Amino acid sequence: MDKLFYILIILSLTACGKGGGFDENDDLQLVKIEFANSTIGIPKNYKLKSPEEIKESLLNSSKRYSEISETIQKLDYIKSIPTEFQIYVDTLNYDNNIWFQEGQYVRLTKSLSQQYLSALETQLQKQWTPQDIKYERLESKFLSGTHAQLIKLKYKLSRESSSTYTTQYLISSNSKTIGVIINNVGPDDMENLVSRTRMK
């Protein structure tokens, strides 16, 4: 759980961008999350990308060198961790992306969601403040059903004249836990899609 927690913090530290965001009315495609033996619907313009392909896009972008360097360092660190992940990137705007991260199973509870929120925000303060990123928590909630439990934390990030949104989900179902990060230049967080995720 600690490893998943730290990786989710890193994945949320993306640079702020501009442009169009995700719209849940977009046409969807069904993709398989191999390590979770699960499927989820995501917009058709999102494509599976490797960290190397994301690096190349960053290097060809107009972002500041410091932002590019920070993100590449985080990608290199994540690659070094012996755990599985899948990245889907919006081909129309790569600032919109979805990360699926393998985790060690833990049954999620409301009490645990409060502990997670407290620990997360302590780390975010340490990570984001030195980068001059201001953040506002927009939502935190715990959902529990017959077959799955879900923790959702949503933030608005602001840097200079731009802003973006990052939403973290932890999902536990059928003795499996995964983390999902939605980074988007718009406020849509794909909750209706993510909440339907079931592991087999």
The 3-state secondary structure of 125-188, one letter per residue: HHHHHHHCCEEEEEEEEEEECCCCEEEEEEEEEEECCEEEEEEEEEEEECCEEEEEEEEECCCC
- pLDDT tens across 90-146, in order? 988 888 999 998 888 888 999 988 988 888 888 777 777 777 888 899 999 999 887
What's the start-to-end Cα distance of the chain, in Å? 20
Domains along the chain with CATH numbers: 2-194 (3.40.1000.10)
Candidates 39, 47, 161; CA nearest to 97 is 47
Q: What is the pLDDT of residue 19?
A: 46
- pTM of the predicted model, to two decimals? 0.84
Residue listed under structure tokens 């972002």: 63
Question: What's the Cα-to-Cα distance from 25 to each of 44, 48, 108, 190, rounded to whole Å?
Answer: 11, 20, 30, 11
Amino acid at 97: N
